[in-house]
Chains A and B, each alone.
Chain A
């Protein structure tokens, strides 16, 4: 049961395909937990279906059908079902596992700030930065602002930010204007997905990347 949802304009951009990969990953992670937003996406895709049906058919090569039929047998059927939750990956939804590559336990956790650990996720394009972040119970992320929008989805535990409580599955978008200092709840470590919708800038001679919340 989630309480903080994806803003409708963002869900709309996801449905039309306009949202780039980083924010789309944050949205699809929330969708993995939230039946309401998944249903809302389904309705937006129904509009896509109506729009597709309303298009005037374009001319296609007369042999396109036979060329396609000839390729069917090599396709096979894709019966793959979502993998069940496995112990190695803990609580990660399938959409995230694909980007982590390995199990949660084996992920490369790096220092991000005192008490805070970060594991980078792989995205196809370079324009966003996506990470998993672990913050121990009761600890906080240093006060910071960002250059782009920062999207957060809680995977386990929870945090408090600007008077709001965010728990498993909740979605939080912080504009560049926001200066904040999220604090993990007292009862458990907080694990979350963080996506920054801004170019990643290298810092210093060794080319180390700036930790997301220190920018």
Chain B
């Protein structure tokens, strides 16, 4: 399913509390979320519980989804990441919409929306071009929620090497880093 279809399903859940749309989202994402939680160390039963929990959160929070700010898969990734932290570490992470505090442009423009889906499709295309040693570290970070220093320790690499590989991968994925950047 492409991102436009997925975004439309989340919006149907938001506007009409559409259970059929939710079921389609569930069938697409629940097995992936289960795999995601397993990669992050949950056993199969716990991973399914976490996936279900994330999907119930999708149902509740659908009204806050805004395709100008995120694609459906990025939004669901952030929900799954936060739910896992909430449940397993008993720590809270802020809902994305709560961060929109002082920003001047609260409503994303039509251009932002275009940019978002264009960015997403460019990502799909460029991810394949990232060299293996960079991509492995990038995936490790996203799948296993390991920090830069955790990864360095686990792979027996200097921290600087891990930082530069992630940095190079992100540069390859285009415009992901701001030039103004300290350590």
In contact, A125 and B55 (Cβ under 8 angstroms): no
Name the contact of A46 in the complex, choosing from B19, B71, B89, B97 (C-beta under 8 A). Answer: B71
Name the contact of B166 in the complex, choosing from A12, A38, A48, A51 (C-beta under 8 A). Answer: A12
8 Å CB interface, A1-51 against B: 5, 7-9, 12-13, 16-21, 24, 28, 31-33, 35-38, 40, 42-51
Binds B, one of A65-73, A107-115, A140-148, A199-207: A65-73
In contact, A76 and B60 (Cβ under 8 angstroms): yes
**Most B Cβ at <10 Å: residue of A44, A48, A69:** A48
State the Cβ distance, A15 to closest chain B Cβ, in Å.
8
In contact, A47 and B142 (Cβ under 8 angstroms): yes
Say whether B131 faces chain A, with CB atoms less than 8 Å apart: no
In contact, A35 and B74 (Cβ under 8 angstroms): no
Please measure, in the bound complex, the distance between the C-alpha atom of A36 and the C-alpha atom of B104, giving whole angstroms: 11
Name the contact of A12 in the complex, choosing from B71, B93, B104, B141 (C-beta under 8 A). Answer: B141
Q: Which residue of B lies closest to A35 (CB)?
A: B103
In contact, A93 and B73 (Cβ under 8 angstroms): no
Say whether A59 faces chain B, with CB atoms less than 8 Å apart: yes
8 Å CB interface, B81-133 against A: 81-82, 84-85, 89-94, 97-105, 116, 119-120, 123-124, 127
Say whether A163 faces chain B, with CB atoms less than 8 Å apart: no
Say whether A157 faces chain B, with CB atoms less than 8 Å apart: no
Interfacial chain A residues near B94, Cβ < 8 Å:
28, 94-95, 98
Say whether A87 faces chain B, with CB atoms less than 8 Å apart: no
Please measure, in the bound complex, the distance between the C-alpha atom of A75 and the C-alpha atom of B52, giving whole angstroms: 13
Interfacial chain B residues near A13, Cβ < 8 Å:
141, 147-148
In contact, A43 and B119 (Cβ under 8 angstroms): yes
Please measure, in the bound complex, the distance between the C-alpha atom of A93 and the C-alpha atom of B105, giving whole angstroms: 17
In contact, A8 and B31 (Cβ under 8 angstroms): no
Q: Which residue of B lies closest to A92 (CB)?
A: B101
Q: Which residue of B lies closest to A43 (CB)?
A: B176
User: How large, as a class, is the contact surface on chain A?
Assistant: 35 or more
Name the contact of B62 in the complex, choosing from A47, A77, A94, A124 (C-beta under 8 A). Answer: A77
In contact, A16 and B145 (Cβ under 8 angstroms): yes
Name the contact of B99 in the complex, choosing from A28, A48, A173 (C-beta under 8 A). Answer: A28
In contact, B89 and A124 (Cβ under 8 angstroms): yes
In contact, B64 and A78 (Cβ under 8 angstroms): yes
Say whether A81 faces chain B, with CB atoms less than 8 Å apart: yes
State the Cβ distance, B145 to closest chain A Cβ, in Å.
4
In contact, A53 and B32 (Cβ under 8 angstroms): yes
Please measure, in the bound complex, the distance between the C-alpha atom of A138 and the C-alpha atom of B175, giving whole angstroms: 40
State the Cβ distance, A33 to closest chain B Cβ, in Å.
5
Name the contact of A7 in the complex, choosing from B32, B44, B48, B183 (C-beta under 8 A). Answer: B183
Say whether B70 faces chain A, with CB atoms less than 8 Å apart: yes
Q: Which residue of A lies closest to B52 (CB)?
A: A68
B residues bordering A, Cβ < 8 Å? 17, 19, 22-23, 26-27, 29-36, 38-39, 44, 47-48, 51-52, 55-56, 59-64, 69-78, 80-82, 84-85, 89-94, 97-105, 116, 119-120, 123-124, 127, 138-139, 141-143, 145-148, 150, 163, 166-167, 170, 173, 175-178, 180-183
14 contacts between A and B (CB under 8 A): A7-B183, A8-B181, A16-B147, A20-B91, A28-B93, A44-B176, A45-B70, A46-B123, A49-B73, A51-B77, A57-B32, A60-B51, A78-B63, A95-B99
